[in-house]
């Protein structure tokens, strides 16, 4: 089954961009996913082909017009969920990425300027999604992030590695740290336990490090995982027995 991605944007020439190379690019060439772009401006109604207008109530920037957005969204087949990239959206999670990757595809609406006229979210079934607590100049880079996260999970794209239950966020914890040769680099040696061949000890060490790094770097994830609340971030790691 092909995962059908449609991107609605004022800059279709940005695509496939980074999704045309490496893993995602190979999967695209193999037909594991497909990409269509829709030029939002093609749905402008006035003779100036305008897609935006000044914000009601005043303020800086321009707002994408609901009539133009609706016409663009209505041009996409109704079989896939429609997401809109916006810093006002619900934060994207690995759990949502897994659901989307298991479905028929996704349509991604990319904003520019100050954002979307809010009525588009009332008039159409569109899920507002954010890729993080910072503001991008447009939704296209968010769309790359969302699509990349989905594509790597499609069957045959990454093989065993992407089904990895150890991956960051799959367990509710950050992944444990990784090492490879040389055994000693600039005086720093790979933890002895990882070279011991004792798989029970290795698993225990990895779990301890995953928990510790999550507690220190992501107290939000740590508390959701059920760890004791982090009172004050000390910054310093405890020594885990090697």
Could you list the residues known to form a binding site for S-adenosyl-L-methionine, using ranges: 111, 131-136
Residue pair 35/19 in contact by the 8 Å Cβ criterion: yes
> By CB under 6 A, which span of 42-50, 130-138, 178-186, 229-237 interacts with ligand ADE?
130-138
Please report how close the Cβ of residue 163 comes to ligand ADE at its closest, in angstroms: 27
Give 134 or 234: the residue with its C-beta nearer to ligand ADE. Answer: 134
Q: Which one of the spans 85-93, 184-192, 210-218, 229-237 is the region binding ligand ADE (CB under 6 A)? A: 85-93
Per the annotation, binding residues are 111, 131-136
Q: How far is the CB of 94 from ligand ADE (least distance, A)?
A: 16
Q: What SS3 class is residue 199?
A: helix
Contact 197, 188 (CB under 8 A): no
Residue carrying the six token digits 């809109």: 84
Sole window of 116-124, 128-136, 196-204, 234-242 interacting with ligand ADE (rule: CB under 6 A): 128-136
Which residue, 130 or 214, is less far from ligand ADE as judged by CB?
130
Question: 132 to 191, contacts with ligand ADE by CB under 6 A?
Answer: 132, 134-136, 139, 142
Give the integer Cα–Cα distance in Å for 152 and 161: 10
Return the beta strands (E) in 50-100 as ranges: 52-53, 63-64, 82-91
Q: Does 8 bind ligand ADE (CB under 6 A)?
A: no
In angstroms, the CA 167 to CA 176 distance is 9
Q: Is the dihedral of CA 149, 155, 158, 163 positive or negative?
A: positive
At residue 216, the 3 state secondary structure works out as helix
Binding range to ligand ADE, per CB under 6 A, among 11-19, 38-46, 83-91, 160-168: 83-91
Residue 210 CA, chain-centre distance (Å), reads 21
Least distance CB 141 / ligand ADE (angstroms)? 8
Q: Which long-range contacts (CB under 8 A, 24 or more apart) does 26-33 make?
A: 27/151, 27/154, 27/156, 27/157, 30/156, 31/2, 32/2, 32/3, 32/151, 32/154, 32/155, 32/156, 32/157, 33/2, 33/3, 33/4, 33/5, 33/105, 33/151, 33/154
Q: How far is the CB of 222 from ligand ADE (least distance, A)?
A: 23
Q: Considering CB under 6 A, how many residues would be counted as binding ligand ADE?
A: 11
**Shortest gap between Cβ of 109 and ligand ADE (angstroms)?**
10
Minimum Å distance from CB 70 to ligand ADE? 19
Tokens of 120: 């588009």
Out of 6, 9, 86, 214, point to the residue binding ligand ADE (CB under 6 A).
86
User: What is the contact surface with ligand ADE in residues (CB under 6 A)?
Assistant: 85-87, 130-132, 134-136, 139, 142
């Amino acid at each position: 089954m092909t995962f059908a991605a449609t991107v609605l944007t004022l800059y279709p020439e940005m695509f496939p961009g980074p999704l045309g190379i490496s893993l995602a690019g190979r999967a695209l060439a193999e037909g594991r996913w497909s990409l269509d772009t829709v030029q939002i401006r093609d749905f402008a109604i006035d003779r100036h082909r305008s897609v935006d207008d000044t914000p009601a109530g005043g303020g800086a920037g321009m707002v994408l017009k609901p009539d133009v957005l609706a016409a663009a969204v209505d041009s996409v087949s109704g079989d896939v969920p429609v997401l809109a990239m916006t810093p006002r959206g619900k934060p994207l999670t690995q759990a949502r990425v897994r659901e989307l990757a298991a479905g028929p595809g996704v349509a991604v609406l990319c904003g520019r300027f100050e954002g979307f006229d809010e009525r588009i979210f009332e008039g159409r079934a569109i899920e507002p999604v954010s890729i993080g607590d910072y503001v991008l100049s447009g939704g296209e880079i968010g769309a790359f992030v969302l699509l990349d996260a989905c594509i790597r999970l499609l069957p045959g794209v990454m093989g065993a590695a992407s089904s990895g239950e150890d991956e960051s966020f799959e367990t509710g914890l950050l992944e444990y740290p990784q090492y490879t040769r040389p055994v000693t680099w600039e005086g720093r040696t790979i933890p002895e336990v990882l070279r011991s061949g004792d798989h029970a000890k290795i698993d225990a060490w990895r779990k301890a490090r995953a928990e510790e790094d999550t507690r220190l770097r992501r107290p939000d994830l740590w508390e959701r995982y059920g760890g004791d609340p982090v009172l004050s971030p000390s910054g310093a790691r405890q020594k885990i027995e090697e």
